[in-house]
Amino acid sequence: MALKKFPEKFLWGAASAAYQIEGAWNEDGKGESIWDRFTHRQHTILNSGNGDITCNHYHQMPEDVALMKELGLQSYRFSISWSRVIPQGYGNINEKGIDFYNRLVDKLLEAGIVPNITLNHWDLPQAIQDAGGWPNRDITDWFAEYAGLMFSRLGDRVTLWSTHNEPWVAAFFGYGFGNFAPGIADFSQAYQTAHHLLLAHGKALQVFRQGGYQGELGIVLNFSHFEPATHNEADIAACRRIYENTISLFLEPLFKGRYPEMLFEWIGSHAPKVQDGDMAIISQPIDFLGVNYYFTDAISFTPWGGLLKYDSKPISASGWGKTEMGWGINPAGFKAVLLDIKENYGNPKIYITENGCALKDTPDTNGFVSDPNRINFLRAHFLAAHDAIEEGVNLHGYYIWTLMDNFEWAHGYKPRFGLVRVEYETGKRIPKQSAKWYSEVIAGNGFQE
């Protein structure tokens, strides 16, 4: 068994998102978000779950930070609820909301934990949706104002920022397929959303640079590894389309200042309206790229496969099965994603901003979960990341999704991704076996293979 050590100053952490953990959905002046509206509708969430209370982190925050300290986390990635700090999305500021994030940041710093903030983890203020949402170009300025507010209030202490989490999901699940908030099914709106998310990112980045803030600003994207299901030309082309629609759609504008040509020919009139100068704003250099990776898919062509005419099936590496989400476990796919970014997009600085798994957890009578499979999953993905670093990938940190079990969007409370178990009836947190194992990895900056 070899000891796998990570580079010095490698940052180990865990991630979360406001809507998934905070609760307090209408307290202390918070405005309604599209996720509040969406989950309060029927037939949107498994078992009618919602984030009204969820982990109650808004009230249990000091205890949660103490837990992070106990686990030895070096960094904590969380998001800000836009409608908690600016209830209507623009205009009036809610000082009580800002105060919550001020206290959170101070507590983290006291505990020696580096805060890593995501400005948009999907919970758009409902008032902005009422004004047209992400497809309305005005949002790019509203987002930049919101970003500027947060930089000005927290930028003296926070040095790691991301504009968006997984803009692909916000655009396509939110506006293309309609299975996430705001629940709109219209591909033209989805592509316009993708463009406005990128433009909003670029405008926020300008505010960050002009303000002279110390620290790093990046964007977090969802990556999967895609393989054609067969060697048939049609499957290979479908796989290319899905790669372009998921990955190049964001990486090409960000790193090359253009949209992927083949994809845009394919989608035709669904392509977004782009104005002169937009691509220059979008492609200003970022400080890091946040990589979320969960699974690998085999892609095939099918004539009844929607706009992009494809079908996808999970691929697990041999000896590995699927997670509770039905996602194919494939650490080699993770490494392939990292090498692709290195080779084709200029080897940017990377943080793994999310990686983890939902598994069937069976607590004992004390609520303790032995989860050797989660440990195996993490170890195999750490190893893939370690290999990637040895092959020159510019990787500087790793955040596990997620600190504690929480509200998993349309899947409600069924999937449990946490290092820490949450008993929702009482709000009790109980670290799982994997949390203890992860503490040791952090303490040793490495693990036994």
Which residues sit at the interface with ligand FCB, rule CB under 6 A?
17, 20, 165-166, 169, 222, 292, 354, 401, 408-409, 417
Is the Cβ of residue 197 or residue 229 nearer to ligand FCB in the bound state? 197
Is the Cβ of residue 272 or residue 415 nearer to ligand FCB in the bound state? 415
Catalytic residue chosen out of the listed positions 22, 32, 244, 354 = 354
Antiparallel, parallel or unpaired: β 350-354 and 310-314 = unpaired
Active site residue 354: yes
Is the Cβ of residue 189 or residue 222 nearer to ligand FCB in the bound state? 222
The Cα 283–Cα 279 span in angstroms is: 6
Closest CB 402 distance from ligand FCB, rounded Å: 7
Is the Cβ of residue 60 or residue 162 nearer to ligand FCB in the bound state? 162
Strands (E), 229-321: 288-301, 310-314
User: What is the sign of the dihedral through the CA atoms of 149, 150, 151 and 152?
Assistant: positive
CA distances from 233 to 239, 240, 242 (A): 10, 11, 14
**Residue at token pair 């949402």:** 133
Closest CB 16 distance from ligand FCB, rounded Å: 8
Q: Which two tokens stand for residue 297?
A: 């898919």
Closest CB 67 distance from ligand FCB, rounded Å: 19
Distance of CA 102 to the CA centre of its chain: 22
User: Per residue, what are the HEC states of 10-40?
Assistant: CEEEEECCHHHHCCCCCCCCCCCEHHHHHHC
Determine if the peptide bond prior to 193 is cis (ω within 30°). no
Is the Cβ of residue 31 or residue 418 nearer to ligand FCB in the bound state? 418
CA-based R_g, the chain, Å: 21
Closest CB 407 distance from ligand FCB, rounded Å: 9
Active site residue 227: no
Closest CB 380 distance from ligand FCB, rounded Å: 18
Catalytic residue chosen out of the listed positions 166, 244, 252, 408 = 166
> Which is nearest to 44 in space by CA: 54, 53, 34?
34
Q: Which residues are catalytic?
A: 166, 354
